[in-house]
Chains A and B, each alone.
Chain A
Amino acid sequence: EAGVAQSPRYKIIEKRQSVAFWCNPISGHATLYWYQQILGQGPKLLIQFQNNGVVDDSQLPKDRFSAERLKGVDSTLKIQPAKLEDSAVYLCASSFWTSGTLSYNEQFFGPGTRLTVL
């Protein structure tokens, strides 16, 4: 079974430029997450989708970050305009379902996109 796919793997941009990241979750997984991991820290949630609806975007800096999952499968995360502090690894994860105590909560992560803002 294929894992979570992400592209690009690396991106270097100047501050104030725009950038977009793409994620394709594991087939059949209804829930998709975007996390930001700053060097030396654990990943932190940016946004969570259930199918094509947003269920949690409370930690997303909405003045510059946006995300969509139009057909309930793959997703795009965009930053416009980028700041120096956006330099981080952006991780996409998916899970089959998230509900109560079901074991379908287990999350699987993609390889990440390493963003450097100069």
Chain B
Amino acid sequence: GIQVEQSPPDLILQEGANSTLRCNFSDSVNNLQWFHQNPWGQLINLFYIPSGTKQNGRLSATTVATERYSLLYISSSQTTDSGVYFCAVKRTGRRALTFGSGTRLQVQP
């Protein structure tokens, strides 16, 4: 099956800092989503981005499908950004998402 690798696995930031999270995948995809899992376990949709660039407030994401990677940028981080960030992809012709193992982010005040 498709392999999804996320880096770094853990990240500690001071409030106000910027960060970049990376997601590499091993095959062609037609769906890529970024999620934030909050401390209560809820998966919150951040971006649906199989290709291109999108921005939403302090967050933005870029997927370069031909090179099989996606980046999630967090600017001016806040303590409420803490949690686990998951990248998930769906291969063309397949039916469900395959998740990476996540990046655990801790933003300290």
Contact = CB atoms under 8 A, between A and B. Distances in A.
A91 B88 CA distance: 15
A105 B31 contact: yes
Contacts of A89: 41
B30 A101 contact: yes
A72 interface: no
B43 interface: yes
Contact of B95 (A98, A106, A114): A98
- Chain B interface residue bracket vs A: 20 to 34
Contacts of A103: 48
Contact of A56 (B48, B95, B100): B95
Interface string B93-104: 001111111100
Nearest to A31: B95
A99 B47 CA distance: 19
A56 B99 contact: no
- Chain A interface residue bracket vs B: 20 to 34
Contacts of B95: 48, 55-56, 98
Given A45-B96, A48-B96, A91-B43, A100 B30 contact: yes
A42 B102 contact: yes
30 contacts: A33-B97, A41-B101, A42-B86, A42-B88, A42-B99, A42-B100, A42-B102, A43-B86, A43-B88, A43-B97, A44-B99, A45-B97, A55-B95, A56-B95, A89-B41, A91-B43, A98-B90, A98-B95, A100-B92, A101-B92, A103-B48, A105-B30, A105-B48, A107-B88, A108-B45, A109-B43, A109-B45, A111-B41, A112-B41, A112-B43
Interface of A: 33, 41-45, 48, 55-56, 89, 91, 98, 100-101, 103, 105-109, 111-112, 114
